[in-house]
Chains A and B, each alone.
Chain A
Amino acid sequence: MIGKIYTCAVIGINGIIIEVEIDISNGLPGFTIVGLPDAAIRESKERVRTSIKNSGYEYPLKRVTVNLAPADIKKEGPCYDLPIAIGLLYASGQIDCIEIDEYLFLGELSLDGKVKPVNGVLCMVSDAAKKGFKKAIVPFKNATEAAIIRDIEIYPVSTLKETVEMLEGISSVEPYSISEDRIMRLSGSCEDFCDIKGQESAKRALEIAAAGGHNVLMIGPPGSGKTMLARRLPGILPDMTFDEAVEVTKIYSITGDLGSGSGLISSRPFRSPHHTISAISLVGGGRVPRPGEISLAHYGVLFLDELPEFQRDALEVLRQPMEDGRVSISRVSAALTFPSVFMLIASMNPCPCGFFNDPVKECTCTPTAIKKYLSKISGPLLDRIDIHIEVSPVKYSELEDDGSTERSSTIKGRVNRARGVQLERYKNEDIFCNAQLKASMIKKYCKVGNDGKRILRKAFESLGLSARAYNKVLKIARTIADLEGRNEISRDDIGEAVQYRSMDRKYWER
């Protein structure tokens, strides 16, 4: 008899429906799995065999063949244990269930018959629901994650026996659902901007960056507060939409970083990898392709502290994903894509000793050393960073000042409003913030008055800005106007925006 059970594989962050076909026939007793299983799945045999026996069911002593269709996709991971075991019991007549092909089965099995959690459940359940599946049986610890998808009924199980009894109708199980307010998990608290004294221009630049999703480069001497500023950025980032949150949660679901318990990740990710990170860990890949830091920072912030200390090829490999918003990893069996729309925040010293252009301290580096240091950041990479700011050391009077400084929540309010304007404006395009504007759209959305145009031309000529820099200035000006709640871009907006591109000359002489 042949049994057909449905389960799911994950490629990138997409779920692909997999059919588990079981055939039991005469011949020497054995268990063969075909369909490009990886090592973990080939080991399934032992787990399936033992858990069936230990759950009190009969393991058929016949020739068993398991096919995981479609046969040209490489199957990975232990989530096929449960569907294979159920398929075996069904094909050997030990489960009587007519609508067994309406369910999606996921789960790893332990030797004593318990169902263990697996990675990527959210991705699987989400795409299964889109394909029309109405019911899914998932490990108990993955239930909260799966319940985020409303269009499919989630049945959590803890043991193989429980699953069989549920299918036979011996026990009735209620679908698991979580209430609306429990769907978003509580965000962790973040340090507040009011901790930082002075640095008003840097704070302003970060506010603009947060509102429009722009990348930022901070240059300054050691101790001027660059790291401190970056760490407080998550506190002023706009709230994620539901769809953004689902996508971010999917990525963390694949890497197994969700943990059991609460539902959607509701605060934007903030990743700050150490500068010894390799290109592959940064961007993604590896023998078994995994999302890299940039995908873990999807819809959030990637903070690269001490930018020149990073390996050169790690930085170069960032360029393409920054343009495309995704990473494509090719393997012989499949090409998978991980999303990576992130805000890059980078900090660096202007030279090896750190005090080049410092108003007070003397720089002890030779001009060659400075040039060599600064050239570690390639031109194309610099060009992709919208906002460049100088973070100068704080004056003592500012440190001493006990006057009130703005709290992050106030700044966040303005950022949220500006972001709301952008979401409304771009609702028919496939972007959601000013930083993503493509060249063709800039003409449409960033119209400038005559006096604004005059300033632009002056800046273009005297500062020698590139065409890309010109576009960046317009995008930044658009965000500045949005923060003020204005639709037209004024002359002052342009003036301020130009400042954020004027450092190229000073440091890189471009």
Chain B
Amino acid sequence: MYSSRRKGDIGEQAAFDYLINSGYIILDRNFRTKYGEIDIIGKDNGYIAFVEVKSRHDFKMGFPCEAVNKSKQQRIARMALLYIMKKKLYNYDFRFDVVEIVMKDDEVKYLRLIKDAFQMDTMI
């Protein structure tokens, strides 16, 4: 059986390669915080994009991006704020991207990059 680690690693590498080919300048990978990790942080077209990579073996549980639900989004946002504070990036524009990957037998069958996948609309 494929370990999920392996699936995730292959997926991340595929996403990384795709982003570089799309013109992203990669700033960081696997940025670790106490809430988890940001998969890839890259600069694209004036924005600093926080990219979440989601890999799956099949579409049985829906599109991979659907797994990035409200709580995951909030978690990613919290981690992004930590990164911004750490690197003192106060005057930059930000964006949240998601890369979806579905693979079979260690081969990537489907890959999609969603730019500006979600925003932080707070309700007061």
Contacts and interface: CB of A to CB of B under 8 A. Distances in A.
Contacts of B105: none
A27 interface: yes
A28 B123 contact: no
A34 B121 CA distance: 12
Residue from A26, A28, A42 with most neighbouring chain B CB atoms (10 Å): A28
A28 B94 contact: yes
Given A26-B90, A28-B81, A61 B95 contact: yes
Contacts of B94: 27-29
B121 A45 contact: yes
A460 interface: no
A61 B91 contact: no
A32 interface: yes
A61 B121 contact: no
Interface string B67-90: 000000000010011000000001
A28 B81 CA distance: 8
Interface string A13-55: 0000000000000111111101000000010010000000000
A78 to B, nearest CB: 17
Interface size class on chain A is: 10 to 19
B121 A26 contact: no
Contacts of A34: 124
B51 to A, nearest CB: 14
Contacts of A61: 47, 93, 95, 116
Contact of A31 (B92, B93, B119): B119
Given A34-B124, A45-B121, A62-B93, A28 B77 contact: yes
A32 B90 contact: no
Contact of A30 (B92, B93, B120): B120
Contacts of B119: 28-31
Contacts of B95: 29, 61
B93 A32 contact: no
A32 B121 contact: yes
B33 to A, nearest CB: 15
Contacts of B121: 30-32, 45
Residue from A29, A30, A42, A45 with most neighbouring chain B CB atoms (10 Å): A29
A391 B121 CA distance: 66
B77 A32 contact: no
A32 to B, nearest CB: 5
A29 B80 CA distance: 12
Interface string A80-122: 0000000000000000000000000000000000000000000
A42 B120 CA distance: 14
B124 A32 contact: yes
A444 B109 CA distance: 95
A28 B120 contact: yes
Nearest to A36: B124
Nearest to A62: B93
B91 A29 contact: no
B122 interface: yes
A484 B14 CA distance: 97
B16 interface: no
Contacts of A28: 77, 80-81, 94, 96, 119-120
Contacts of B77: 28
Nearest to B76: A28
Contacts of B91: 26
Contacts of A27: 94
A28 B93 CA distance: 8
A368 to B, nearest CB: 61
A154 B81 CA distance: 47
Contacts of B93: 26, 29, 61-62
Contact of B92 (A26, A32, A42, A45): A26
B98 to A, nearest CB: 14
A61 B47 CA distance: 9
Contacts of A42: 123
A42 B121 CA distance: 10
Given A61-B93, A61-B116, A30 B122 contact: yes
Nearest to B116: A61
A45 B122 CA distance: 11
Interface of A: 26-32, 34, 42, 45, 61-62
7 contacts: A26-B90, A27-B94, A29-B94, A29-B120, A32-B123, A61-B93, A61-B95
Closest 7 CB pairs of A and B: A30-B120, A29-B119, A28-B120, A31-B121, A30-B119, A30-B121, A32-B122
Given A26-B91, A32-B122, 17 more contacts: A26-B90, A26-B93, A27-B94, A28-B81, A28-B96, A28-B119, A28-B120, A29-B95, A29-B96, A29-B120, A30-B120, A30-B122, A31-B119, A34-B124, A61-B47, A61-B93, A62-B93
